[in-house]
Homo-oligomer: A and B are copies of this chain.
């Protein structure tokens, strides 16, 4: 069996990962360390889990700084090591509850991104990769939705706060010679997944296997992406896309109905719960009933997701079954 050829030393970089203890962030951290890079994580451990960094913490190329992105001074100090690249993943990702605490998205997502950019400017850091969202398209009228879709109208505080983050990054690219990578994710699935519909459905079915309460009418159409496929795409874009501002949709080449997902999850668990629907086209205020992104642009770089949506959901469910402790941590 042939050993994997390590990346040439000059290609190795020092990555600064905000939100690096979270689901997506920690998955990146492990990949970056495995690829030979040096990684500093900046995370307040509010939704991130120290357990996700167990392996990373044994690596001498890894540093954890506990801090909040709303603390501009601490963030600037943490970046004094002058990383080659910032992965900015720290965010309030609870899209559903925006209207219950409207300031949270603004503070954590918009101002948080501003603080990251200012820390970069202060320290002379010139490259940023940002986890944005398909929610910035609002309720698109074009499917699959391309990156240059018609000027969107926001429907959620989450989408609005992420679009504000994208816009700040773009302005910094123009104004301060930074290179920006903006990734508009669909919902990401996989190991370490700690919020979203699979998480909720599995929790509910553990509590009551006979009945499942479903937001909306079950016909919401959504696309998903397996976290390792997401990482492949981001790293590929960072290598081959070299515009000042690089924007990529990331998602599967298809979508599923919430009802499909319910069926797969139930079958996998050997259950047949009665389905109770909240009703309505949308799962919550600001929910987009159809999310399906055009990924022609990232696929043109040679990327394809390795798992189907169904496989991603199954992988997620397996993880949750083997790691029920994540339910105790929220």
Q: Mark A256-278, 1 if CB is under 8 A from B, else 0.
A: 00000000000000000000000
What 4 pairs between A and B have smallest CB-CB spacing? A164-B164, A160-B167, A154-B170, A160-B171
Q: Which of A21-29, A57-65, A96-104, A298-306 contacts B (4 or more CB under 8 A)?
A: A96-104
B114, A106: Cβ atoms closer than 8 Å: yes
| Closest chain B residue, CB of each to CB of A282 | B174
B residues near A106, Cβ cutoff 8 Å: 110-111, 114, 168
A187 an interface residue at 8 Å Cβ cutoff? no
Q: A1 CB to closest chain B CB, in angstroms?
A: 46
Stretch at the interface among A9-17, A40-48, A144-152: A144-152
Copies of this chain in the oligomer: 2
Asked whether, in the complex, the Cβ of A285 is within 8 Å of the Cβ of B156, the reply is no
**Measured CA separation A110–B163 after assembly (Å):** 12
- Contact indicator per residue, chain A 122-155, by CB within 8 Å of chain B (1) or not (0): 0000000000000001100000000111111111
B164 touching A160, Cβ below 8 Å: yes
Closest residue of chain B to A175, judged by CB? B99
B171, A154: Cβ atoms closer than 8 Å? yes
Taking a contact as CB atoms under 8 Å apart, the answer to whether A167 and B171 are in contact is no
Taking CB atoms and an 8 Å cut-off, the chain A residues in 84-123 that contact chain B are: 98-99, 102-103, 106, 110-111, 114, 117-118, 121
- A175–B98 touching, CB < 8 Å: yes
A157 CB contacts on chain B under 8 angstroms: 168, 171, 175
Which of A137, A166, A171, A175 has the most C-beta atoms of chain B within 10 angstroms of its own C-beta?
A171
Least CB distance, A199 to chain B, in whole angstroms: 23
Q: Is the CB of B285 within 8 A of A174?
A: yes
Say yes or no: is A215 at the interface (Cβ < 8 Å to chain B).
Answer: no
Question: Counting CB contacts under 8 A, is A238 at the interface?
Answer: no
- B residues in contact with A137, CB < 8 Å: 151
Which of chain B's residues has its CB closest to A174's CB?
B155
Give min CB distance, A76 to chain B, whole Å: 13
B151 and A174 within 8 A (CB): no
* B110, B117, B149: the one within 8 Å of A150 (CB): B149
**Distance in angstroms between the alpha carbons of A251 and B187 in the assembled complex:** 40
